[in-house]
Chains A and B, each alone.
Chain A
Amino acid sequence: MLELKAKNNQYVISILSVAMISILGLAVRDFIDYKIIGYLLLVLVSILAIFLEIKPVLLSAILSALVLDFLFIRPYYTLHVDSAEDTLLLLLFFVISLINAVLTYKIKRMQKVIHMKEAKANTMKLYNTLLDSLSHELRTPIATIIGSIDTLQQKNVNLSNDSKDNLLEEIEKASIKLNYQVENLLNMSRLESGYIQPKLDWCDVKEIIYNVSNRLSEELKLHKLIISTEENLPLFKLDYGLMEQILYNLIYNASQYTPKGAKIQIDVKHEVDTDYDSHMDVIKKCIITITDDGYGFPEAEMDKAFDKFYRLQNSKTGGTGLGLSIVKGFVEVQNGTIKLSNAEEGGAVFEMVFAVDCLSINTVANE
């Protein structure tokens, strides 16, 4: 519908602009040579060819030729041309404006093709990045599983019980990693499909954080985890499942990309502001900050951290580069924002702010 309108507008523009030049020309017809007007019309058609589609441009070319003949070539107000010179001039005018229109159109088409090729190349690049990280992150655990099983099944080799246990443990770890990656891929496709409808319900954010950190206790074994929440933190209207996934990915990330013994601190607080500008609206916020004292993010790569498939230049282990982009997506579907910065003492700071409703625990308990 809109496209149709835009196309019709192009015809209107071409007709109007030819009419305008004609009126201008009429006003000065007695003072200047009609050839000048011809040139003016030619310039107009050329300019139109740059901006408009081929058909409106052709229309303007035909109109200009008619107008030139009818209004400016003597005898006026007839399509008849007296002199052979003028006939030739009119013919040339028409041909030049046609060539102009067609050439410009062709150039525009070529540009379009180049642009499409570029877009395709970009998609391919993204696709290759995905393949690279996917094949690495999925195949490494699969290779571990297949290899370990082969060794366990080897008949002519005597494995000690310790070695067997070790191999089984490797298989276990690899499977869990594989499961995590698949989970991330599924979440990514959920996000991309736009299908996620957050189920907002009263959440005890402190409980979610402890829940997640208990699930990650193995990964956090060598880290110092500090959870500090406001006394009597209110309940917030968030999606429990999405919050779990967000916190899981962020804490997991922190555990993977900081050195042994690093500190990971999670702070939760709430804010209630009154917005005096707009009818005293009360703005309630849940603010969750995750700070570590690791290496932080290189300033140059900070902007890209949340990009899909993006991985830090020198990152060693894990990750398809999906973890943080899922976090961002899940934060945003819940009316939240996430910001990454580096702490002054080094280390990364992820700050999430959710503008959501909150409810004081005391109100509920005393009802």
Chain B
Amino acid sequence: MSNSFSILVIDDESQIRKLLEITLEANGYKLLFAENAKEGITMAASHQPDLILLDLGLPDEDGQVVLKKLRDWYQNPIIILSVKSTEEEIVKALDSGANDYLTKPFRTQELLARIRTALRGSFNQSQEPIIAFGAITVDFVSRIIKLKDEVLKLTATEYNLFTLLLKNDGRVLTHQYILKEIWGNAYAEQTQYLRVFVAQLRKKIEEDPNRPKYILTESGVGYRFNSG
């Protein structure tokens, strides 16, 4: 695999930096490293990396603050890598503009998949009218979704929910975010709608709704679409 994407790793643990260096370079990425927040922000500004892997537990500054500072001007994806991650902290990071998060210990295949997804998102904002993946075809123009050539009967809300998730393929969307987007600001805390409609949607699009392939649950945080 050859690509020339550059990734900035901001992490104070040398073992993690070493692991990421070997793993990511072997997969064709160019690596940059920073050991603390100050260095990280400087490096991000001077090198404009295509993606940043940010540890939340930095020695000189709270990672959440670093994330906010970066997001003031840095547009490319930021993935959070963190040891301690309560659900609140993850949601906070996602709300502050992180594209994704992974909890240490993580599997490298998972990390590589997340990096690919994040980079695809930022480099390929495709506006295709028809998308096909797995056994599913989506026609955004005529608002028709087919599963194995069979037109799915989705309600308006189900359709909106499905396309919102699909448009953010690979990305975690928080409960609050989805609720606000689909039902409106007043519904931000009404998770019951999300639970019921996700279950309904899964029944219609998943081969086995109990072992979903497309709409994945991020426990306590939200949902992630996975087109495969």
Question: Contacts A175-B105, A241-B220, A244-B219: A235 and B192 contacting too (C-beta < 8 A)?
Answer: yes
Whether B196 sits at the interface, judged by CB under 8 Å, is yes
CA distance A113 to B219 in the complex (A): 50
Bound complex: CA A366 to CA B196 (Å): 10
A240 within 8 A of B: yes
Judge whether B192 and A359 touch: CB under 8 Å. Answer: yes
C-alpha spacing A210/B198, complex, angstroms: 15
Are the CB atoms of B105 and A235 closer together than 8 Å?
no
Chain A nearest CB, measured from B177 CB (Å): 15
Q: Which of B105, B195, B211, B220 contacts A204 (CB 8 A)?
A: B195
B211, A214: Cβ atoms closer than 8 Å: yes
Q: Could you tell me if A240 and B192 are in contact, using CB atoms closer than 8 angstroms?
A: no
**Is B192's CB under 8 angstroms from A364's CB?**
yes
B217 within 8 A of A: yes
Q: Mark B214-228, 1 if CB is under 8 A from A, else 0.
A: 000101100000000
| Cα-based distance from A361 to B197 in the complex (angstroms) | 9
Contacts known (A214-B211, A365-B200); A202 close to B220, Cβ less than 8 A: no
Distance between Cα atoms of A365 and B193 in the complex (Å) = 7
Q: Which residue of B lies closest to A202 (CB)?
A: B192
Across the interface, which residues of A come within 8 angstroms of B217, CB to CB? 207, 211
Instruction: Flag whether B87 is at the interface (Cβ < 8 A).
Output: yes
Q: Nearest chain B CB to A236's CB is how many angstroms away?
A: 10
Q: Mark A323-359, 1 if CB is under 8 A from B, else 0.
A: 0000000000000000000000000000000000001
- Per the bound structure, the CA–CA distance linking A227 and B210 in Å amounts to 10
A364 near B219 with CB under 8 A, answer: no
| CB-based contact B196/A364 at 8 Å | yes
Q: How far is the CB of A258 from chain B (nearest CB, A)?
A: 22
Complex contact A202–B195 (CB within 8 A): yes
Q: Does A125 make an interface contact (CB < 8 A)?
A: no
Q: How many whole Å from B175's CB to the nearest CB in chain A?
A: 8
Contact (Cβ within 8 A) A361 B211:
no
The distance in angstroms between the C-alpha atoms of A27 and B105, with both chains bound, is 84
Give the most central of A203, A214, A365, A367: most B CB within 10 Å: A365
Residue in B87, B192, B193 whose CB lies within 8 Å of A199: B87
Say if the beta carbon of B26 comes within 8 Å of chain A.
no
Question: Does the CB pair B105–A240 fall under 8 Å?
Answer: no
Tell yes or no: A8 within 8 A of B by CB.
no
A169 within 8 Å of B (CB atoms): no
Within 8 A of A (CB), among B170-228: 191-193, 195-200, 210-211, 217, 219-220
- Contact assessment for A364 and B193 in the assembled complex, using a CB-CB cutoff below 8 Å: yes
Residues of chain B within 8 A (CB-CB) of A227 are 210
Are B87 and A210 within 8 A (Cβ)?
no
B199 in contact with A207 (CB, 8 Å): yes
Q: Is A273 an interface residue (CB 8 A)?
A: no
**Chain B neighbourhood of A203, CB < 8 A:** 195
Contacts A199-B87, A199-B220, A240-B219 known; A210 to B196 CB distance under 8 Å? no
A204 to B195, CA, bound (A): 6
Tell yes or no: A86 within 8 A of B by CB.
no
Cβ of A201 < 8 Å from any Cβ of B? yes
Contact with B along A207-246 (1 / 0, CB 8 A): 1101100100000000000010000000100001100100
Partner of A240 from the list B193, B211, B220 (CB cut-off 8 Å) is: B220
Q: Is A179 an interface residue (CB 8 A)?
A: yes
The reply to whether B199 and A204 contact each other, CB–CB distance below 8 Å, is yes
Chain A, residue nearest B86 (CB): A241
Residues B191 and A201 in contact, CB atoms below 8 Å apart: yes
Q: Which residue of A lies closest to B197 (CB)?
A: A365
Q: Which residues of B contact A175 (CB under 8 A)?
A: 105
Q: Is the CB of A361 within 8 A of B196?
A: yes
Chain B positions within 8 Å of A199 at CB level: 87, 220
Which residues of chain A have C-beta atoms less than 8 A from B199's C-beta? 204, 207, 361
Quick one: closest B residue to A239, CB to CB? B220
A241 and B219 within 8 A (CB) = yes
Q: A199-B87, A211-B219 are in contact. Are A235 and B211 (CB under 8 A)?
A: no
> Cβ of B220: which chain A residues have Cβ within 8 Å of it?
199, 240-241
Question: 8 shortest A-B CB distances, which residue pairs?
Answer: A202-B192, A210-B210, A364-B196, A241-B220, A240-B220, A204-B195, A202-B191, A364-B192
Chain B contact residues, CB within 8 Å of chain A: 87, 105, 191-193, 195-200, 210-211, 217, 219-220
Q: Can you pick out 19 interface pairs between chain A and chain B where the beta carbons lie within 8 Å of each other?
A: A175-B105, A179-B105, A199-B87, A202-B195, A204-B195, A207-B199, A207-B217, A211-B217, A214-B211, A227-B210, A235-B192, A240-B219, A241-B87, A244-B219, A361-B199, A364-B192, A364-B193, A364-B196, A365-B196
